[in-house]
Chains A and B, each alone.
Chain A
Amino acid sequence: MMNRNQEQYTTGEVLAPPTERYTVLGWLKKNLFSTWYYTLLTLLTLYVLYIIIKPTLVWVFTQAQWQVVVVNLRLFMVGQYPADQIFRIWIALHLLAFTAGLAWAIWLPRSRRIGAFLLLIPLGFAALPFISTFSHINWVIFDLAALAGWGLGTWKPKAMRRPLIVLLLAYFPILILLILGVQPLLKIVKTNLWGGLLLTMLLAVVGITVSFPLGILLALGRKSELPIVKLFSILYIEIIRGVPLVTVLFMAQLMLPLFLPPQIKIDNVIRAMAGIVLFSAAYMAENVRGGLQAIPKGQYEAAWALGLNGFQTTFFIILPQALRNVIPVLVNQFIALFKDTSLVAIVGLLDLLGIASTVLAQPAFIGKQREVYLFIALIYWVFSYAMSYASRRLEVALGVGER
């Protein structure tokens, strides 16, 4: 013992603290039965869990009739989107997989194991027995696209940085063009045919993308030295944050058509999108403001000292740093928005939740509320959980708060 300590001091080598090791019984004793009241608590909890979980499992595996989900799977995923145009959604997904693979290779080069694990999920979908052959093939292509992106990123990480940024920025317009259509090449699919998970996703993506520049402007307005600009920004942000999203959607549905000149007609989906954008912009502004406040004053002073004017200081010095800090928060806002889009069901849109009432109205599936809503909840949960997990990894990878 003495020897080892001395050796440690002389070589300057630091040994890792000893890791605790338990036998199974020892672990149980420490974590579940350490004192008499913990023992009591553990036993009581186990009993309550048994009472709750057993009937649930029995119901899920024996009594529930999941046929309602299997039969209506396409409705849940894309709503009324024309069946012969679904390949466009797949193309958008493959492009997304490719971009994600590329980004993974460049930004998270070390997390190979998790990446490989994520690749298994589409394969799992491909193995589902009740989907069409077309979907089987496409899930495999999805994985191949992700692998192709990853391979390209690993092969030339430096050279691929710029194309990745371009791809990320161009993805949103490409997505909209693919789904909506371009007149001579792709048939136009009207927005009232969008539905299901597709609509939910599009509402969230459009909401976050369009509200991003608006939010930046509002945040800058709120920090502005011009009192009138500041007043209007604060009024807008605080009013929107003080009312529920449904009232904003209500306003968008009923008052937006009144505000516009009579020759412009917009349909339900666009109105809901407008409502979501207006709502999201206020929250975006507060997030961006948080990022702006984290920039030390010295940055402003240095920029002034270099002779940059206000515009240059804001757009070349302050914003690039602030937005980098804001990225993880943005992912969280996207998750919140993804969940919030379910409220469009209240104003009659057929998003993932709205389509459920359509499905439940089918004569064959009356009274299958539990199955349908559990399935929907599961979809929401999987997406939100996956995204929040990814955002935590991203936070570490970007080193927010470390530089």
Chain B
Amino acid sequence: MNETSIPFWRDERVLQWIAQIIFLVAVVGFLWYLYHNMITALAQRGLLPSFHFLSLTAGFDIGEHLIPYSRSSTYGRAFLVGILNTIEVSALGIVFATILGVILGVMRLSTNWLINKIASIYIEIIRNVPLLVLLVFWYTGVFLQMPRLKQAKILPGPTIVSNRGIAMPWGKPTATWHTYLYILLVGLILAAIVWWRLTTIGKRTGRMPLVTVWSTLTFLGVAALGWIGLVLFAHQAPLALDTPYIKGLRTVGGLELTPEFMALFSGLVFYTAAFIAEVVRAGIQSVSKGQIEAARALGLNGFQTLRLVVFPQALRVIVPPMTSQYLNLTKNSSLAVFIGFPDLYSVAGTIHNQTGRAVEVTTLMMAVYLSFSLATSVFMNWYNKKIRLVER
């Protein structure tokens, strides 16, 4: 029976394995060649790869940091500051870009000619200009051209707008802030209970109450009651209003936003919103007209149609491209270096200039960005699976 089988040199399975082994040898050989060159070059300079430098003193300042940082901190800590700054600007950027993007997307569908045209012109302008040009223009042409601090514009609040940035009133934690955090936690738990209870009732009776609205109200109610209680019994509100004022050449108090942060943040938001608007528009337009007509025929009103029929279906089309927009925004935040905001890339660049450790810095930086991308896409894939059409 085996006598008629083909010889092994013409057996496709064997050939495939041989091809793969050749490929593997070629790729690994090529990579080894590059690695060998690199090690030789580095050894000549006395810079063999090691991550030991991360525990050395950095000795440079970083303008903005979310965790305590000074000149005497280590390179590792400087990296961490950069990572946190990147996360901060990306997270805020994602939230605001989504809001602005949805507004623009809905404007783009408006039957009001003026609103519609404004949205489409905005989208066409923003999408065809590089983000970096937009950021530089925004930074040097708008935020740095604000009046000097002496002639600063004082907006109601008081919010002080000058070429040193924007300072606005902000809450400052007082002695009772910790207690208040516990009250907020209780509120969160209560809201979760309300959520679970209403959902079960909804499932049993077939009439789903406004779950989100009620649980939000519960949380807000507990938060408000806690605040009033603390004021009445502990005679101190958990947050004190901290208003900024001008002292010499700088502003003191309140929330200070540097021009670099503002330029990067608003640039990212304005840019990404134009892309998100197109995603949202395509999503809403993908819901067929018959669905809306059917919902109307069943007696749903306009809001119910939107909430129960249009949105859940549009979301399925929106989520995948939205994920890539979020990822793009996170990756685009690396352009901060051009306008001097100390994000991951910028800090890594400074570290490289000081230590000359190109390989380690590049590796670390790429690994961090890669894990951001991975984390975002894992979360969005999970969410996408949750809202996906349940097919038989």
Partners in one complex: yes
- Contact: A377 with B133, CB < 8 Å? yes
Cβ-based interface call for A88 (8 A)? no
Query: Which of A31-39, A133-141, A287-295 has 4 or more CB atoms under 8 Å from chain B?
Result: A31-39
Q: Which of A239, A244, A250, A251 contacts B349 (CB under 8 A)?
A: A250
Report B364 CB to chain A, min CB distance, Å. 10
Q: Which residue of B lies closest to A27 (CB)?
A: B113
Q: Which of B37, B332, B370 contacts A260 (CB under 8 A)?
A: B37
Q: Which residue of A lies closest to B38 (CB)?
A: A258
Report A58 CB to chain B, min CB distance, Å. 15
User: Please, could you name 28 A-B residue pairs with CB atoms under 8 Å apart, sorted by A?
Assistant: A32-B114, A42-B112, A42-B114, A49-B118, A226-B19, A228-B20, A228-B23, A239-B366, A244-B332, A246-B345, A247-B334, A247-B362, A251-B366, A254-B352, A258-B38, A258-B42, A261-B37, A262-B37, A262-B40, A339-B128, A343-B132, A369-B145, A370-B137, A370-B140, A370-B141, A377-B134, A380-B128, A381-B128
Q: Hey, what's the 0/1 contact readout for B105-134 against A, CB within 8 Å counting as 1?
A: 000000111110010000011011111111
B contact residues, total (Cβ < 8 Å): 52
| B38, B112, B338, B374 interface centre (most CB from chain A within 10 Å) | B112
Complex interface: chain B residues within 8 A of A333 (CB) = none
Report B128 CB to chain A, min CB distance, Å. 4
Cβ-based interface call for B103 (8 A)? no
Contacts A244-B334, A259-B38 hold; do A376 and B370 have CB atoms under 8 A apart? no
- Contact: B113 with A32, CB < 8 Å? yes
Complex interface: chain A residues within 8 A of B338 (CB) = 345-346
Q: Which residue of A lies closest to B377 (CB)?
A: A242
Contacts A42-B114, A380-B129 hold; do A251 and B20 have CB atoms under 8 A apart? no
Q: Hey, what's the 0/1 contact readout for B320-355 against A, CB within 8 Å counting as 1?
A: 000000000001101101100000010001001000
Contacts A42-B114, A227-B20 hold; do A258 and B358 have CB atoms under 8 A apart? yes
Cβ-based interface call for B91 (8 A)? no
Report A293 CB to chain B, min CB distance, Å. 15
- Contact: A369 with B359, CB < 8 Å? no
Cβ-based interface call for A270 (8 A)? no
- Contact: A239 with B337, CB < 8 Å? no
CA distance A251 to B362 in the complex (A): 6
Cβ-based interface call for A340 (8 A)? yes
Cβ-based interface call for A66 (8 A)? no
Complex interface: chain A residues within 8 A of B217 (CB) = none
Cβ-based interface call for B365 (8 A)? yes
Complex interface: chain B residues within 8 A of A239 (CB) = 366, 370
- Contact: A31 with B132, CB < 8 Å? no
- Contact: A247 with B16, CB < 8 Å? no
- Contact: A342 with B112, CB < 8 Å? no
Cβ-based interface call for B96 (8 A)? no
Complex interface: chain A residues within 8 A of B362 (CB) = 247, 250-251, 254-255
Cβ-based interface call for A374 (8 A)? yes
Q: Which residue of A lies closest to B145 (CB)?
A: A370
Q: Which of A34, A45, A232, A353 contacts B132 (CB under 8 A)?
A: A353
Cβ-based interface call for B373 (8 A)? yes
Cβ-based interface call for B24 (8 A)? yes
CA distance A24 to B369 in the complex (A): 55
Complex interface: chain A residues within 8 A of B188 (CB) = none
- Contact: B374 with A373, CB < 8 Å? no
CA distance A381 to B124 in the complex (A): 9
CA distance A45 to B116 in the complex (A): 11
Binding site for B on A (CB under 8 A): 31-32, 34, 38, 41-42, 45-46, 49, 225-229, 232, 239, 241-247, 250-251, 254-255, 257-262, 335, 339-340, 342-343, 345-346, 353, 356, 369-370, 373-374, 376-377, 380-381, 384-385, 388
Cβ-based interface call for B27 (8 A)? yes
CA distance A289 to B124 in the complex (A): 28
- Contact: A353 with B365, CB < 8 Å? no
Complex interface: chain B residues within 8 A of A245 (CB) = 331
CA distance A242 to B374 in the complex (A): 8
Contacts A31-B111, A342-B132, A343-B132 hold; do A228 and B24 have CB atoms under 8 A apart? yes
Cβ-based interface call for B87 (8 A)? no
CA distance A227 to B137 in the complex (A): 48
CA distance A209 to B181 in the complex (A): 58
- Contact: A244 with B331, CB < 8 Å? yes
Q: Which residue of A lies closest to B358 (CB)?
A: A254
CA distance A239 to B371 in the complex (A): 10
Contacts A251-B366, A255-B359 hold; do A381 and B125 have CB atoms under 8 A apart? yes
Cβ-based interface call for B308 (8 A)? no
Cβ-based interface call for B154 (8 A)? no
Complex interface: chain A residues within 8 A of B23 (CB) = 226, 228-229, 232
- Contact: A343 with B335, CB < 8 Å? yes
CA distance A260 to B42 in the complex (A): 12
Q: Which of A31, A247, A250, A369 contacts B140 (CB under 8 A)?
A: A369
Cβ-based interface call for B34 (8 A)? yes
Contacts A232-B27, A254-B352 hold; do A243 and B373 have CB atoms under 8 A apart? yes
Q: Which of A41, A225, A258 contacts B115 (CB under 8 A)?
A: A41
Complex interface: chain B residues within 8 A of A335 (CB) = 128
CA distance A131 to B373 in the complex (A): 47
Besides the known contacts A242-B374, A369-B137, 20 further A-B residue pairs in the complex with CB atoms under 8 A apart? A31-B114, A45-B115, A225-B16, A226-B23, A241-B373, A244-B369, A247-B334, A250-B345, A250-B349, A250-B362, A251-B366, A254-B352, A254-B362, A255-B358, A262-B37, A340-B130, A373-B141, A374-B141, A381-B129, A384-B128
CA distance A394 to B362 in the complex (A): 40
Report A156 CB to chain B, min CB distance, Å. 37
- Contact: B112 with A38, CB < 8 Å? yes
- Contact: A247 with B37, CB < 8 Å? no
Q: Which residue of B lies closest to A35 (CB)?
A: B112
Report A281 CB to chain B, min CB distance, Å. 15
CA distance A380 to B127 in the complex (A): 10
Report B121 CB to chain A, min CB distance, Å. 11
Complex interface: chain B residues within 8 A of A41 (CB) = 112, 115
Q: Which residue of B lies closest to A374 (CB)?
A: B137
Contacts A41-B115, A377-B133 hold; do A243 and B37 have CB atoms under 8 A apart? no
- Contact: A45 with B118, CB < 8 Å? yes
